[in-house]
Amino acid sequence: MGELCRYFCLNLALWVFVSGLYAAAPSRRSPSLTASPSVIILGVTPSLTVNCSYSSTRSHDLATLTALTIYSRTNSSAHLHKRGVVKVLEDNGMTQTFVSKNAEGEGVIDDKGESFLFLRWSLPSRDQAVEYFCVLTAKDVEGVEVQSNAGTRVTSRTPWHIREIQQLADGYKVKAGTQLSNTGRIQSGIFVLRQKGLVKRPSTESIQARGDHWP
């Protein structure tokens, strides 16, 4: 009985382990979603591109690619249908083609090759640091519609640390300027005293011997 239990437990543990590996492995049907840059400075970073791509050579059980969609819950989204053009949907509900107020999109769907869809913002924004998703819509060899998705997150840094660095740099400039100003006043004072004969200029020999100079 003990041997049977041990055999059963070992097989159960192995099955759970293999199942976990299979579940964690990315599906060959899933698209790839990237963001460039992945870290932005809110209101400062000049542009952001979110790109979704899929290679038909990765999976042979998808017969037809129907659409690619990039979206986030708080920002613009882009949709590309196989028989249409890229549409960028703004958060105000207005749909425009290729170019919108805040973003533009472009893409290609190829059943036998490389498909892609990107969404690009060309101006700094304060609402781009969110999680983005790409949805691939296709039909398998039996004609059944299937969907797969991928996600990526764009993180942000606020301009506060840049402002602090700038203030620190300005502080160093002020200190350096004060030191230069003090040096100039000292040299001017020595010049006045020398003109009044209160300070004598050292001889050339003594200057050369000490290796210094006279202001």
Domain ranges of the chain: 27-157, 160-201
d(CA 180, CA 19): 71
Reported as a single tens digit per residue, the pLDDT across 171-182 is 666 565 555 555
Rounded Cα distance between 141 and 196, Å, is 103
Comparing CA positions, the residue from 97, 136, 163, 124 lying closest to residue 42 is 124
Please, which pLDDT band fits residue 51 given cuts at 50, 70 and 90? Answer: very high
How far apart (Å, rounded) are the C-alpha atoms in residues 56 and 114?
6
Alpha-carbon span 13 to 94, nearest angstrom: 53
Q: Which CATH number fits domain 27-157: 2.60.40.10, 3.10.20.30, 3.40.190.10, 3.30.70.20?
A: 2.60.40.10
Whole-prediction pTM: 0.57
Average pLDDT over residues 14-41: 64
More confident residue, 201 or 34: 34
Sequence-separated (6 or more) residues with CB below 8 Å from residue 77? 69, 70, 71, 88, 89, 119
Within its chain, how far is the Cα of 89 from the centroid? Answer: 22
